[in-house]
Amino acid sequence: MEPFLLTLSNGAVLSGLASVPGKSSITARCYPLIVGVHGGTYTSTYFDAASNHSAATFSRLLGVPFVAFDRPGYRDSSALASIAKDSTFFQEEGKYLHQYILPKLWEDYGQPAGATSIVLMGHSLGCSACIIAVSLHAREPEARYPLEGMILSGRSTTSALTKSQGEAQMEEARRLGYVEYPLGVKDMVMFGDSELGLASPHIRGISDEITHRGILVEFEDRRFHWDDYWKDYAKLVKIPLMAAIGERDGLFKASYEDLKDFTEAFTNSPRVETVFIPGAPHCLELSYWGPGWYSRCFGFAIECVTSATLA
């Protein structure tokens, strides 16, 4: 994927990676601009970590543009200016995504590529901003970009960490001023024990290379505030949703029932797919399940925009 650096309408900078291929022999009549939203302690490289774990592979094959941006405060993207007293990090990030990022990506990548609409693809903590942005879009009849689908992975309602584990993580993060996994620990959390063989040796080998310091306030929001308000946003979502979690997810409680508890909050979505993947770890996209999951995501995205356009 090709790196980009954009200036948003508020003067802020947005970095990321993009794949904008020409149409292929199997490009659908209606196709989306898929926008990848990475999770905590990752960047846009999450969606382009290796040739066999890259959205670009499917983008080129299907002639479907894919853009992954670095969330505010990650890599070269400007951090959020401030957080209002009556708001939270994810609420402000969701507004920022809706007001500044998605209109710019649509203008620079979606429209020139001939895409029909945007479909969001969020992972882990990146799902929060997606949910809020989609709910805000639903309440704005004259939004500056079309939006017809949302894909979420590595997320359920309940953290897999015990209360003491969570408090210990936050205590260390506050001491440092950011969230960072000790060297060699992250691949265990994201892919499980190496003896399970859920991800390739190469991916496990570059785990620390593709990591990034996490933003303290986003982890605080997830742990202490998110549960108080997210369902109010979820019920406002009015586009199709596909949500998935792997059975061996190490960050969120992972069973079909846990995921169904999450997806049932989207009461006004016209189509909800609850995808429980046996054996898979937290980072579906980087695991051995990655190619299958990417295939499913691109197919779902094409279905969403086709139904919206031709129905």
User: DSSP labels for 33-76?
Assistant: EEEEE--TT--GGGGEEETTEEHHHHHHHHT--EEEEPPTTSTT
- For 266-296, the pLDDT digits (tens) are 999 999 999 999 999 999 999 999 999 999 9
| Mean pLDDT to the nearest integer, 111-131 | 98
Strand partners, 151: 121, 242
Is pLDDT of 115 > 90? yes
Is pLDDT of 197 > 80? yes
| Mean pLDDT to the nearest integer, 69-88 | 94
pLDDT greater at residue 238 or residue 159: 238
Give the span between the Cα atoms of 261 and 123, in whole angstroms.
18
pLDDT band at residue 311 using 50, 70 and 90 as cut-offs: confident
- Cβ count near 3 (within 10 Å): 14
> What letter does residue 193 receive in the DSSP assignment?
-
Is pLDDT of 208 > 90? no
Give the span between the Cα atoms of 149 and 134, in whole angstroms.
9
What's the mean pLDDT when you consider all of the chain?
A: 95
- For 136-188, the pLDDT digits (tens) are 999 998 899 999 999 999 999 988 877 777 777 788 889 999 999 887 888 88
Give the span between the Cα atoms of 27 and 50, in whole angstroms.
24
Q: What percent of the chain clears pLDDT 70, i.e. is strictly above it?
A: 100
Q: What is the structure's pLDDT at 165?
A: 73
| Mean pLDDT to the nearest integer, 248-273 | 96
Q: What is the structure's pLDDT at 282?
A: 97
Domains and CATH numbers, the chain: 2-310 (3.40.50.1820)
Lowest model confidence (mean pLDDT) among 105-119, 181-195, 218-232: 181-195
41, 186 contact by CB (below 8 A): yes
58, 29 contact by CB (below 8 A): no
Q: What is the structure's pLDDT at 183?
A: 78
Closest by alpha carbon to 5, among 87, 78, 98, 106?
78
pLDDT band at residue 130 using 50, 70 and 90 as cut-offs: very high
> What letter does residue 206 receive in the DSSP assignment?
T
Token output for 67: 């853009």
Closest by alpha carbon to 276, among 299, 251, 247?
247
Token output for 110: 């979606």
Q: What is the structure's pLDDT at 172?
A: 86
